[in-house]
Structure 1
Amino acid sequence: MRTNLNLPLTKTLTALFGAVVLLTSACKKEKAALPTDTGNTPSKLSTNAIGVAGPKGVCYVEVNNNDIRNVGNYTLSTGEQLFDIAIIFAANINYDTGAQKAVLYFNPQVTNVLNNKATYIQSLQAKGIKVLLSILGNHQGAGISNFPSQAAANDFAQQLSNAVTTYGLDGIDFDDEYADYGTNGTGQPNDSSFVYLVTALRNLMPTKIISFYFYGPAASRLSYNGVTVGSKVNYSWNAIYGTYSVPNVPGLTAANLGPAAIDIQSTSSSTAASLATQTVNNNYGIYLYYNLPNSDVHTYLSSVSNALYGKSTVYTGTSTTGVTFYQDINYGGTVTSAIPKGTYTLAQLQAYGFVDNWASSVKIPTGWTVTMYANDNSTGTSWTRTSNTSNFTTLSPNANDVVTSVKIQ
């Protein structure tokens, strides 16, 4: 595949251009009235991290490129999990122009994680880690801030609740980015939309987690008719990586707010440690991590955990040697996890992030042989490769976007 317009866009621009975004977008530090309704306020979950006193660690993983199971591979030196909440980044709000309604969309990589919930979701939950699904726009005009009516918000909330139930998730995270409000004839952000949405979702999921990435038009629309977003969500956190800024969400206490946010792959370790120290000193309950890679970064994470808990971080995973398939030519786009030697059906490959009729290039360890098949169960046209291959269109016959099963020796 070359491109896919229905892939969630990276948050990297938030980190790189945060200062510009703050000047040009309605995205931060907006005020709302204190809640007047108390009958359905969510209970605030324990403020301590798993098995240890201190802020909870919340980690976004771009599943287009990285394996979310890696969240479970980091512990403190005393054995407790480093991360408390793992967030699948991300599902999308698409717009059905025929039905004129917002619809929940999963790209192939998110679909793979959800459909293989025992592998990706339940394995983290078995370690005590909560798993949320992040929801953001997809350039189609639909977003969390422009539902035209309470009924429309209720409908989308039902779609989210159904997904949480179907895939055994622990909750939903909202991110008001990339909606491109007004596209396809959709409306602009309004004051009632986000309040209606979180109210409906809280009614449908009274015991699940709802969180808000404090960004976009929704951040300035947190109250409507005396009901506040803060009375319906459990947590909110700063959205600008490498900075410290307390989200202004009335109804949430310091224990449920995260003013510190880092991009693991771009924020310096010294800045990350400084932000952690500020979090502890000011008694806030959340520390936000973004962009956890597949590689071992425990040394970097130790700079944070030492400040948060007085304990270093240990990596408990294994560095797996294996074959990696790429969505695009020249080893671009989404990449699978390393696939060890073996014979794989499509269903077995999907556990590594492989998608049917999708691969365009492959990296092969020295001395290994990979046989790729056009059909499932090692059948159909085949191609045998013994070294890295950067462009499947150069193979004869063309192997681009047709591989379904493989044998690795």
Structure 2
Amino acid sequence: MTFPIHDGSPIRFPGPLPAATDVVVIGAGVIGVMTAWHLAERGLRVTLCEKGRVAGEQSSRNWGWIRQQGRDAGELPIMVESLRIWKSLAQELGEGLGFRQTGVMYLAQTEREIAGFEAWLPHARDNGLDTRMLTAGEALGMFRGAAAPWKGAIWTASDAKAEPWVAVPMLAAAAQARGVTIVENCAVRALDLAAGRIAGVVTEKGRIAAERVVVAAGAWSRLFLGAHGVKIPQLAVLASVAETGPLPEVFDGAACDDSFALRRRADGGYTLAPGAEHDFFIGRDAFASFGFYLPVLKKDFRSTHFRPAAPSGYPDAWGTPRSWAADQLSPFEKIRILNPAPNLATLGRVQDSFASAFPGIGRPSLRTAWAGMIDTMPDVVPVVDHAPIPGLTIATGMSGHGFGIGPGMGRVVASLVAGEDAGHDLSRFRLSRFTDGTKIAPGPSL
């Protein structure tokens, strides 16, 4: 399989579609895959439906970081659990995951950033992390040939990395071996309701009877849920990423400042991305949710490139329908995989920043560039909660944090669906926070 995954990529999980199951999970990104995995381990019959390909969207297009560092206080205990699960997955599945604990470092260019790092340290201590502050000299000493004027850094040696577009399909195959039925190229068009509660789903290939459904559809979750009267203020931002060919090793882990982010890959190259820049398509959902996003807009306005309209067929494109009949072609079949064009100007600035930081290497050439649509929420933490429709659970809005936290969050969602104690305080992720008068409090911008 080549990267990025696209509509023409081979179907690896053809089904077949069952007539009935215990739980239907909508969306085969890392959250959907790991939710299905943990549900199957509880002895439940699980069907995972994916309109395109497993990990075709953001779950294969992210940076490949598995980080505890910088997490929102509500996410951090789940992320600590997730790292433990990643370790067990690596033992079971082998080196193909690309899992290695090589550390994550955030580099400060200003004293204000240093203060932000220091303010997060109590969360690290409360959760038993090995996070520590580094002086400017210590930070430079962690790299080979660095010449950037960093003022210091925050460093978590136990944080890790993996190869996203390889790892998530591997996890899907392991979930299938545990009994999960995975059906690619199978869009769920609608929920099937009886007496106001879940009775199944209607897919493009037929109906599946089920009493429980999980929506883990990433950037498509708002569109799907909205068609059933469930409103969430989720939007999507475009994040551009690129990879280099093999380069001399400057750092074996993952690191970033405001200008660029890097991760050393298993093939000897680097995955590069902007440290803060992203693009945002303005659509109907953006106008409807403007008030919710004011706090985070004030923080990120200068790093956001606004575009007047999304490509045709995207979840918040002006012409995308908000409702459709279950026996009609749905928006999810019109675009199987979101494959937006990367912002090459942004990536050009990343190349320049890398060259300034590592003058001995210079401006790296890019072998491949791509982009993904990150499902995000106004406070940059997800919605993980039961929906107002009995039998429906929502797990979306991972806000670019989903790859690393996926195994642990999948366990949490499976516990919710199974009616068990989730083992963590999930109040930060409740759906009602957007309607009960709670002040929107964005998570740490680390």
TM-score by length of 1: 0.29
- Higher normalized helix content (fraction of residues): 2
**Larger RCO (CA under 8 A, 6+ residues apart):** 2
TM-score by length of 2: 0.27
